[in-house]
Amino acid sequence: MQPTTLLLERSSEDFLTITLNRPEARNAIDTQMGRELREIFVPLVFEAKDVRCIIITGTGDKAFCAGGDLKERNGMTDAQWRSQHAIFEEAFYAIMNCSIPVIAAVNGAAFGGGCELALACDFAYAAKSARFALPETSLGIIPGLGGTQNLPRAVGERRAKEIMLTARPFTAEQAYEWGMVNCVCESADLMPQTLDAARAICANGPVAVQQAKKAIHVGLQSDVRTGLAFEIESYNRTVVTEDRLEGVRAFAEKRKPRFTGK
């Protein structure tokens, strides 16, 4: 595909960087961007292809993503609004269910759907200048791309209610303190640190990484006994792989393993 709202960059370490590229609109998500995100992530729900990790960031240093493009939405009928939102839902749900790790590198403002996009990723790093908000209630709607579910799982119910019901913005340091982002760093260090994490993931067994992610995700939706049963099922999927043999062999030979995802 040749997207018009995203920049795609493949690395030699098998990870993909996706840059939201609508700087004139603070990287807001319009219908076309929704379609392009959907086209990338839907095929990755069940199959990793040849990608081991994905980074999502935004163009420039002002905005990660300003959320849904309200200029495009202004004047939409109810049917048009729902039709567009269905595209966004498909894209965001595919990001949440992606078989491989997805990291958000939040380089600036992440408001509304932009905040929900960061929450949809497996974890997030943020620049000190980043700001977050879920201001939907101030617009007469509510978060509808996973925000009401992902935020309380990250920061707790009471904090999530405060954030959404007041619609007040908060800083990257607060996001870190509350458990929403994993790391806060200087703007110049954001991508180097995110790339370092991506390279660490790509150096590990691809099947093991995918199964660990799946076990965590499913376990959090289940009771402990069900989660433990799913963990063993995921564990057993790694036992029969060539990568398991290679990992043990490399350890014994005191060298780095050469994982193939088989």
Active-site position among 90, 136, 177, 233:
136
The owner of tokens 């939706």 is 221
For this structure, is 89 an active site residue? no
Encoded tokens for 64: 């990660």
CA–CA separation, 156 vs 179, rounded Å? 9
Strand-by-strand arrangement of the 102-106 sheet: 6-10, 15-20, 53-58, 102-106, 123-127, 183-185
Amino acid letter at 68?
Answer: G
CA–CA separation, 111 vs 69, rounded Å? 11
Length of the chain: 262
For this structure, is 116 an active site residue? yes
Q: What is the DSSP letter of 61?
A: S
Active-site position among 116, 162, 231, 246:
116
- Partnered with residue 39 across adjacent β-strands are none
Active site residue ranges: 116, 136
